[in-house]
Amino acid sequence: MVREAYHRDLHKLKADGLKMGVLVGRAIGDAVLSLKNRDIDLAQKVIDMDNEIDDINHEIEDDCMRLLALQQPMARDLRLIISVLKMAIDLERIGDLSLEIAVITQMTANVPPVKPLIDIPRMSETCQQMLADTMKAFENKDVELAKQVAKRDDEIDMLFDQIRRELITFMIEDPKKITGAQHLTFVARYLERIGDHITNLCENVVFMVTGERVELN
């Protein structure tokens, strides 16, 4: 009976990690969509969603601490608990970065855009797909998928460099666009950091399955 409850707790922990991943993926997409469409209502939904993400993070932390203290798990179970705990930290930070993008939407919604948004939504789509695939790798204990996802961070980095160079050119050619270009630079930087956090998630999937600590990409 005690072991049944223990395994239910482990199952719930994994389910909460997956739920958090879905919410964070939605936050990334909605934050950039709000920026593209200048939709302050959608931006506010992203900001409000951050509270739900934080609540799941706190619940995961509490459940991990309780399992570690009361059950003294070993081997694979211990790696699962440690991995979910560390992954929740990265997911929470991705949620925070999505919130920052939504805040920029609210700050700039009434200001004429510096340029049409093309590459920033591409960054967002890549991040969302990377995160979805990472959570699939987590659910299925798929090390090879996790490693393939991490390689895609190079795409994010290249898009960020391209956007940054383009925005610097805008600022040099027209000083009136400096503020707007800076805001978009921040958004691109936040998405680049999201890519880094997803890479961390992939590393934790590898650790959970194999016990190996690796640096991907």
Chain segment 88-115, per-residue pLDDT in tens: 999 999 999 999 999 999 999 988 888 8
Q: Is residue 216 part of a domain?
A: no
Of 2-6, 142-146, 155-159, minimum mean pLDDT range: 2-6
C-alpha span between 95 and 74 (Å, rounded): 31
Q: Is residue 78 part of a domain?
A: yes
Judged against a pLDDT cut of 60, whether residue 38 lies above it is answered with yes
pLDDT of amino acid 2: 57
CATH value at residue 161: 1.20.58.220
Closest among 185, 64, 79, 73 to 123, alpha carbons compared: 185
Q: Is residue 194 part of a domain?
A: yes
pLDDT digits (tens, 9 = 90+) for 41-83: 999 999 999 999 999 999 999 999 988 887 777 788 899 999 9
Q: Is residue 175 part of a domain?
A: yes
pLDDT of amino acid 217: 77
Where in the sequence is the domain holding 35, given as residue range(s)? Answer: 2-210
Q: What is the mean pLDDT of the chain?
A: 94
pLDDT of amino acid 21: 98
Kindly give the residue spans of alpha helices, DSSP state H, lying in 38-152: 40-71, 75-108, 119-140, 143-151
Q: Is residue 121 part of a domain?
A: yes
pLDDT of amino acid 22: 97
Q: Work out how many domains the chain is built from and give that number.
A: 1
Within its chain, how far is the Cα of 35 from the centroid? 17
Residues in CB range of 81: below 8 A, 6 or more apart: 10, 13, 64, 67, 68, 73
C-alpha span between 205 and 86 (Å, rounded): 10
pLDDT of amino acid 83: 95
Query: Could you tell me the pLDDT band of residue 4, with boundaries at 50, 70 and 90?
Result: confident
Q: Is residue 217 part of a domain?
A: no
Q: Is residue 179 part of a domain?
A: yes
Higher per-residue confidence, 186 vs 8: 186
C-alpha span between 37 and 52 (Å, rounded): 24
Judged against a pLDDT cut of 70, whether residue 1 lies above it is answered with no
Q: Is residue 215 part of a domain?
A: no
pLDDT of amino acid 177: 86
